[in-house]
Chains A and B, each alone.
Chain A
Amino acid sequence: MDAAAGLSVREGLGRLADYWVVVYRRTWRGSVISSFASPLFYVLAMGVLLGGFIEADPDTLEGATSYLAFVVPGLIAAHAMQTAVGETTWPVMSMWKWNPVYPSMLATPLTPTHVVTAHLGFVAFRLATTCAVYMVVVAPFGVFESWWGPLLAYVAQVITGLAFAALVYAFTVRISSEEAFGVLFRLGVFPLFLFSGAFFPIANLGEVGAWVARATPLWHGVNLSRMLALDHVTWWVAGVNTVVLAALVVVGWRLSVRGLTRKLVA
């Protein structure tokens, strides 16, 4: 790489890897407990205990033979969203506000593109591990219909998380106070969590409601994850879901780089 033109993204990520390895070494203990405990609690409460009251035709449950099988793939996609949002709100803001690590990175040959990509890469790693743990925890409940479906569903869940990570990162670099996170959670994360089809088929929302749900990013993740896990795939819909999620990752990433540049290289 020409020194004058700067570093390639790959080279920059290599230089930032040590930092994120140290961060992970410091934080993994805490994240392991929540990675195991929360899926188990959710699956027991929503899937087994609440689901025990639900007797429904597979046709009304988008092809699932039980409520547990219905709720699990959606829950994991929603969990990916929550993990992503958790990792890209306070922890990102902290990087210039409370523990200004970003300014020190940017004083070196690294650029906002490297800094954003490495941070989102770390979030992707966190998503990959938490979703993997979740899938392993739920597997013994007999909710999967094939061996390849859950693997693809797992990829869909990680991409869903990554889409939210990129979008919320772009949001965080544009606000000046953490108070805005309250609005993000109340008006963004909670409604999505509850109404994007993770807990009930969006058909129950009525014609208009269902279309509103389909317009949300989380629905694309929930739907893709569920179709694949239940081996009940409408391929053109899966294609749309994938394209939407991938596009959100790219758009969010670009907005994040631009936002961080404006914030710290001004």
Chain B
Amino acid sequence: MTTRLFGQRVPRVEDQRFLRGRGRYVDDVLVGPGTLHAAVLRSPHAHARILDIDVSEVLDLDGVHAVWTYDDLDGVMADPLPLLIPHPALTHGRTQFALARDEVNHVGEAIAFVVAEDRYVAEDAVDRIRVGYELLPPVVGIEAARAATHLVHDDVPGNVGARMEQHNGDAPAAIAAAPHTLSLDLTIERSSCQPMEGRGVVSRWDPDTSRLTVWTSTQTSTGVRGCVAARLGLDLAQVDVITPDVGGGFGVKINHPWPEELLVPMAARALGRPVKFTEDRREHFISSAHERGQVHHVEVGFDDDGRVLGLDVTFWHDHGAYTPYGLIVPIITATQLLGPYKPGAYRVRFESLFTNTVMVTPYRGAGRPQGCFVMERTIDAIAAELGLDRAAVRATNFIQPDEFPYDHGLVFQDGRELEYDSGDYPASLDKLKALIGWDDFPALKAQAAAEGRRIGIGLACYVEGTGVGPYEGAHVHVETSGKVKVAIGLTTQGQGHATVFAQIVADELGVPLEDVEVVSGDTRKMPYAVGTFASRAAVMSGSAVQLAARAVREKALRIAAEALEADVADLEIVDGLVQVRGTDAALALGTVAVLSNPLRYAFDEASKAATQFAVGDPGRPPVAEDDEPGLEARDFYSPQRATFASGMHAVIVETDPDTAEIRIVRYAVVHDCGRIINPMIVEGQIHGGVAQGVGGALYERMAYDDSGQLLNASFMDFLMPYVTEVPDTIEIDHLETPSPLNRLGIKGAGEAGVIPVSAAIAAAIEDAEGLVITAMPISPSELHALRQSKETP
């Protein structure tokens, strides 16, 4: 048997292309000469009624082909965009129009769509459109939304899109009866995904075949396909959606359809020319999506050991101007806040509020960084109140390894029970404490203090429901050359799917890794798929790939057993050869593929073996009644519920006593995503997640002014960390607690790295400074202000 590839640090097959600049993104797609380019007129106001739009100066401009406003949209194109995930609690969900009808609700909302010879001319044309606005008072920030002095949407009272409550037990009663109680107010600000490649769409209409092809930088090609077909009045069979390389998604590209994903195909069809839209960075800041902004109030009751007896959380979620993605983010906060802990009773309530700002859809972590921040700050506050070790209070509250499956008595984001499948939190904590040197830190801190330096340590734990349904599928096909082609339906945006799924297939089929090619995100290859989000690709597509590969293996063995006149049980596949164990009798897998497809016509030397005078029992049909030609299989994986990964981060920071600068000294991660397909890729995900988490903790915020203008809508002022701001080394230890929910025992790993970073860094700064940190991100300027207010209360 060849070495099993599952679990190996297999180098990513994608990297040769990516590192040499040979990735092919939507903007690189060449759809032929004559491609036209689109630009969008976006609202300069946060809240205004549109009185009139004058495009008369636009069409005079040389090189302009067409301009659309709301009034030019036909049929369902004129309807509001879909509300993708309805929920009974979302009583006042609202979505935008592809082009604003009579009101704009955030700076950046699309108003008019221009198609021209090139993007330069298209932008010139946009400058010439004159819009008459009646300015309306903008609602910016959670405080203003709650005050509801002004409304975002006239027909949404109190700016409240949704109110929701879940509980397990009687938390208020448990708190009232508890020996100790605390109240906390905790805030997380807005940030956003900021993939290096923004949104992009190219489309071509073929009038001869009446087929539309759409290339889009999305996290769900099947989702976009469904929307495009429905809105343009086409049959699904007329629409192909292809997702080439994607330069990062991080969640923002799971929302769909973006206005341009409908407008570009519409224009391509109307004009009979390919049309391209490539979003620029300013557009990404003001017209895609943000996340994270929430304000939380916590009431907690606990005993002398710090055991949480009752936890009552109320929070306010700023979902911006529209709610296309439903309540997924606040529901995740509400449920995943619990992390590895088991409070005696829990109640959570939230209001999801409209504001005149860019809408909110999931960003890597999707509500968990906020929930984790709330829970971990609460645990730290309990430890401080009781004078106990922060790690010990965590351990006191952990769900124990023998308590799985653990049912929290709540409903998760997929509509299923919040039931953890497996985990070992005490073991994770032990590993983390050893990795960071938790018990030795007080001595280090004292030594630093003697040198006039301030250092602090913090830790934070999380549990992440990964691999939500409904399903994913895979198609595995062995060609007569012996090469294996794998198609998965979900898209890929840098995760290394082409490597890890090839590892699974190579193991199942006994073929070399380099003989396996994985394609993704192409509805022509796999029309049934959901998408790449919720850390689900490895769990969902990985399981489907394994099921499909196993079916191919079974078929290969059956055909080979017949050809070799051997028993299936005596066969093995090694290096692409099906052989009878302990003998020389063998068939190449490619030959088995030849035999799987009875031929009338030979097309090459190898295929002669499958023609009618060469093979087959004349007494039986060439293809048996319950069989199909070809050495291929398609299968799907659809689990009952999510599988719950977990992890813990610890960080040591140093704060400058003079300048209040904050420096990360050490960063340690213990991570449990069940069985690991490729540790190098998992570690890469952790590195990237921690980097984004550092951004969210120390650098990034959406600086809206009171009028709803985003003051830092560029990479000059929106401070994503450079490599110089991220720790040189992120120390990682793995724990592998297999999931019982899938055959591979895997859990998702894509989002994990980002989740506890703000919580851990806040705790470390608090430890270094002796100040209570209740809001993140925190800048040196803010830390300085906290020091000042402590000195002069």
Q: Do these two chains interact?
A: no
Q: B: which residues have CB within 8 A of A?
A: none
